Amino acid sequence: MKAADLIDETFLAYNGGRLREAARLLTDKMLPENGYVGMSLTGALTPAGLGKSCLIPWMKAGFVDWVVSTGANLYHDLHYGLDLSLHQGSPFLDDVDLHKHGVIRIYDVIFDYNVLLDTDAFVRSVIQGPEFQRSLGTDEFHYLLGKYVDARAKALNLKDTSVLATAYRYGIPIFTSSPGDSSIGMNVAAMSLRDQAVSFDTNRDVNQTASIVYAAKSTGHTSSVFILGGGSPKNFMLQTEPQIQEIMGIEEKGHDYFLQCTDARPDTGGLSGATPAEAVSWGKVDPATLPDCVVAYVDTTVSLPLLTAYCLSRSPRRKHKRLYNHRDTMLNTLKSAYLKVGSVSKTSIGRKGVQKANDIGKKHKAK
């Protein structure tokens, strides 16, 4: 039985049923009609091999148009692009003994400490290049880094091993919401002490991601978010709509389709305050499409391979939008819309919200 048939015929209820809903949301609504699809990546996915097995096929098929990732996922992706070895281990190994022998453990993935040192040396060597000696959006930084990883992979006769290299080849912008929170950012920080001018332009990132969503919605396309895990990348991807509506005052309704695979719970704060229904109150999700929003409470290492196999089986490949190549145009379009809005006041809307919140608060206090 093919994986897609397995999902359609046997994933009938509970979280299995939600995973089937997720698969059908992807193939029936998110991927058709040339809609824009953003993907956020949280958790150690690339060291677990999901970059090569799932994310790269997803990119090659044109199923993802832009990405927000933790820096750690991109850093560990470099190991594969540089042909450095990672190994299957066990979560029950003696970490004191591993440390004594220079072995790093990520749950049940293990590798030599020199893998880190060699990767760091590569990053430091690359970012000393003249094209890095300025303030860069993280999408541009990763695009340039991906170019060098792609060149190294070709020299080593490697094929389809690196997410960064694949994103470079297909013009898929990759952002990092917290660029200092990874070994890549740590190497950039260290090189600043050697008078290297490379730095991250986080303002550009906020506006650039919003410009992608605005480009989709203003041209009659849908905007979908496919969230793997949660945390900062999830919020950074979802905040694009409040950036457009709340901050810039541009009329918009929110993302059209929302899909999240997570093992977190909303009542403990683990979903970063943004279940689909809650996201509607922020303007992150279009209220009219709330019934099409799906949260599958399934570990990404289980859900992503299944959903990848399903989509590759059920959906035709899509033409690559190469959004990176249009980054300046999209940003200028958003800027023009923002300047056109000007200083239009939204005070009346704010007063309605304050009054509504006060009314709810009074009722709660009375009880």
Distance CA 163, CA 167 (A): 6
pLDDT of residue 360: 61
Residue 225's closest CA among 34, 77, 16, 68? 68
Distance CA 55, CA 308 (A): 8
pLDDT in tens, 18-48: 999 999 999 999 999 999 999 999 999 999 9
Q: Please report which helix (H) or strand (E) contains residue 81, including its range.
A: helix 71-81
pLDDT of residue 290: 84
Residue 323's closest CA among 212, 223, 224? 212
User: Residue 323, SS3?
Assistant: helix
DSSP 171-217: T--EEESSTTSSHHHHHHHHHHTTT---EE-HHHHHHHHHHHHHHHH
**How many CB atoms lie under 10 A from the CB of residue 293?**
22
pLDDT in tens, 80-95: 999 999 999 999 999 9
Residue 100 among the catalytic residues: no
Q: What percentage of residues in the chain have a pLDDT greater than 90? A: 83
Instruction: Please say whether the dihedral angle defined by the alpha carbons of residues 215, 218, 220 and 223, taken in this order, is positive or negative.
Output: positive
Burial category of 34 from C-beta neighbours within 10 Å (exposed 0-12, middle 13-18, buried 19 and up)? middle
Residue 248 has φ and ψ, to the nearest 5°, of -90, -15
Contact, 250 vs 337, CB < 8 A? yes
pLDDT in tens, 116-159: 999 999 999 999 999 999 999 999 999 999 999 999 999 999 99
Query: What domains sit in the chain, N to C, each tagged with a CATH number?
Result: 3-351 (3.40.910.10)
Burial category of 23 from C-beta neighbours within 10 Å (exposed 0-12, middle 13-18, buried 19 and up)? buried
Q: Which of 2, 100, 159, 284 is catalytic?
A: 284
pLDDT in tens, 307-358: 999 999 999 999 999 999 999 999 999 999 999 997 554 544 444 555 555 6
